[in-house]
Every structure is written in C-alpha cells, then in structure tokens.
C-alpha cells in the first residue's frame, strides 16, 4: 500500500510502498539503473579515503573472527568500495580476499590504492564460479540492490555448502520511519539517512528471502541503538538534519572524476590498533538478538 513520497536523491521524488504483512517498504516501481547510479557520483567515494584506517582495521578485526572459525578460506566482500577492508583481512590472515564494487571508478581506485582484487559488477551477475567462496560479506549493500532476491540467490550460488553469509543491512521499518512520519507531518519528501536505499527490509522479510535463497538463518541481531532512538524521534532535535531541503542534483551534468592523488591527500595518519581493537570489542557487545530497536541488523546465515 502507498506509504509516502520519498527522495531517492535530491530532486528525485518517488512513491514508496509498504507491505502490511511483513512491514518492509520499497520504492515502487523500482527506479531504473540510471537513476540509481546518480546516487553515487565519484566524489561520494572521498569519504572512504577519509575513513581509510577505520576500514583497514575493520578488515584486521574480521581476520581475527574468521580465523577463529576457519584457519583459511576464500572471502568475498560485496560492495567493497576501495577494497581497504580487503587489504586489512589479506594482510593479517591466510584468507584469500576478493571484492565486488558497483562503481567502476571506485573499483579502479581500489585496485591501484590497495592492490586489491576487485571486479565491477552487480552481485546478481557476479563473474565467479559456483561454490567459489567460504564466506560472503555484504555490508550495507542489499538495500541498494535493484533486485535483492536475485542478489541473495547469487550469494548462495557463490558459497560452498556450509559457507557463511554475513549481511549488514538497515533495520527497514526504523530506517523508513522518518520518511513516513515527516511526509505526514510536513507534507514533503525528506532524504533518508543514507541516500540510495531502494528497499527497507524487516526482520520477517529478511528471514523469508534468505530461506527462499537456500540459507539457514543462524542469527539476526540489531545494533546502533542511538540511531534507532533518533529515527523514532525519541531524542531532542532528532529530525534536525531533515528540515533543510537538499539542493537538487542536475541529472544532465556529469560529475568530475575523483583522482587517486585527491584521495590519498584525504587519508589521515594511522590511529592506534590496540585502541581500535578494544573499542571494536566493546561495540560488538551492544548487538541484541531479541530486539528490533537498533537502526541496523547483523545477519549470519549458512548455505544449506
């Protein structure tokens, strides 16, 4: 059923629908690929240079977790951006790390910056053999996919039996709530917290899609509790970032290319790894399987 008007990106409003049975929401009809691409101009990836060490240390921390599960294996990161997390995993484990990135510009920058093996393709058309991987990692990508069911089916195809899928995705009803609430309150579409979200998955919709794709769901945990409170309007000035409309994006203007030299200038000095490792362990304690309050879901599933 119709839920509200929502912004795919500044200047592009579309209808958003909501499922009364499972609580998921989505743009309907699904926007064409050329509109989706407008959400990711080359300068969008400047932020990944700024958080270079955060992503590298995330890969190093993931290396510890993976090694406790299996000493070695084949790893695929979908939506790997510059491949910085891949570099952290590769440098600190015996796992083989490869990546996929929708943006050809970002994939090229990542190959040069990190020496990472990155292909540019949508997950539903992944150019890898069946059962090529032991672990597929998809972090904040599925909500951007044109066809998320096909993407999960492709993930199952790529995994060996018993392989793991780690899926990080926004808690859809919470992610979508400001759009619906403020459209009714202010009478206009507002931006989502992160542009380009096409689908807003509920726990129930995720479980159904994963089971249909050939997975056994091991756990679904919610986290980012403060963001969850903001999305519900429970904190002071929770919706302040939505009050000022964004300037429209001119679809006729091609954004300038973002160079590797510009990116390298944005990389900050390396912070302390022991401090990051400690804070990462602390943050992972705040993930709850029995609650949907948090802004994001962490899903672990096994290929049947």
CA distance 204 to 299: 12
Torsion sign over Cα 222, 284, 44, 100: negative
CA distance 142 to 49: 22
Instruction: Report pLDDT for 243.
Output: 78
Instruction: Report pLDDT for 12.
Output: 87
β-strand pairing of 199-200 with 74-78: unpaired
Contact call for residues 93 and 70 (beta carbons, < 8 A): no
Contact call for residues 20 and 1 (beta carbons, < 8 A): yes
Instruction: Report pLDDT for 196.
Output: 85
2-239+258-303 — its CATH code? 3.40.50.150
**In angstroms, what CA-CA distances link 111 with 42, 53, 105, 162, 268?**
16, 17, 10, 30, 20
Burial grade of 69 (CB within 10 A; 0-12, 13-18, 19 or more): exposed
Strand order in the sheet with 2-9: 2-9, 12-18, 25-27, 199-200
Pick from 139, 141, 85, 147: nearest CA to 116: 85
CA distance 219 to 82: 29
- For the record, the structure tokens of 56 come out as 């590298």
Q: Which residues of the chain have pLDDT under 50?
A: none
- For the record, the structure tokens of 77 come out as 């990161």
First to last CA, the chain: 34
Instruction: Report pLDDT for 241.
Output: 80
Gyration radius of the chain over CA positions: 19
Q: Quickly count helices (H) and strands (E) in the chain.
A: 11, 11
β-strand pairing of 133-139 with 296-303: unpaired
Give strand pairing partners of 136: 76, 165
- For the record, the structure tokens of 162 come out as 């018993």
Q: What is the DSSP string of 194-241?
A: STT--EE--HHHHHHHHHHHTEEEEEEEEE-HHHHHHHTT-STTTTGG
SS3 content of the chain, % helix, strand, coil (to 5): 40, 25, 35
Q: What is the number of residues in the chain?
A: 304
3-state secondary structure (DSSP) of residue 191: coil
Domain-by-domain residue ranges, the chain?
2-239+258-303
pTM, 2 dp: 0.94
């Amino acid at each position: 059923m119709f839920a509200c008007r929502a912004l795919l990106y500044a200047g592009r409003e579309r209808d958003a629908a909501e499922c009364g049975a499972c609580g998921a929401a989505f743009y309907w009809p699904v926007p064409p690929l050329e509109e989706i691409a407008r959400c990711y101009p080359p300068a969008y990836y400047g932020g990944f240079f700024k958080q270079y060490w955060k992503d590298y240390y995330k890969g190093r921390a993931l290396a510890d977790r993976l090694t406790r599960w299996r000493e070695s294996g084949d790893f695929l990161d979908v939506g790997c951006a510059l491949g910085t997390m891949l570099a952290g995993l590769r440098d600190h484990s015996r796992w083989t790390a490869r990546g996929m990135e929708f943006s050809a510009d970002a994939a090229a920058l990542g190959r040069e910056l990190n020496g990472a093996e990155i292909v540019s393709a949508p997950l539903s058309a992944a150019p890898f053999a069946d059962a090529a991987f032991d672990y597929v990692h998809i972090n904040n990508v599925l909500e951007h996919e044109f066809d998320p069911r096909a993407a999960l089916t492709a993930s199952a195809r790529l995994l060996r039996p018993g392989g793991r899928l780690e899926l990080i995705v926004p808690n859809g009803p919470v992610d979508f709530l400001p759009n619906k609430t403020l459209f009714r309150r202010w009478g206009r579409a507002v931006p989502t917290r992160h542009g380009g979200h096409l689908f807003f998955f509920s726990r129930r919709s995720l479980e159904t899609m994963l089971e249909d794709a050939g997975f056994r769901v091991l756990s679904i945990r919610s986290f980012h509790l403060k963001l969850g409170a903001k999305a519900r309007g429970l904190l002071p000035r929770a919706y302040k970032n939505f009050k000022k409309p964004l300037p429209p994006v001119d679809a006729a203007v091609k954004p300038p290319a973002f160079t590797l030299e510009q990116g390298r200038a944005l990389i900050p000095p390396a912070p302390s790894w022991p401090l990051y490792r400690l804070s990462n362990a602390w943050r992972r304690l705040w993930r709850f399987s029995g609650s949907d309050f948090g802004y994001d879901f962490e899903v672990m599933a096994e290929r049947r």
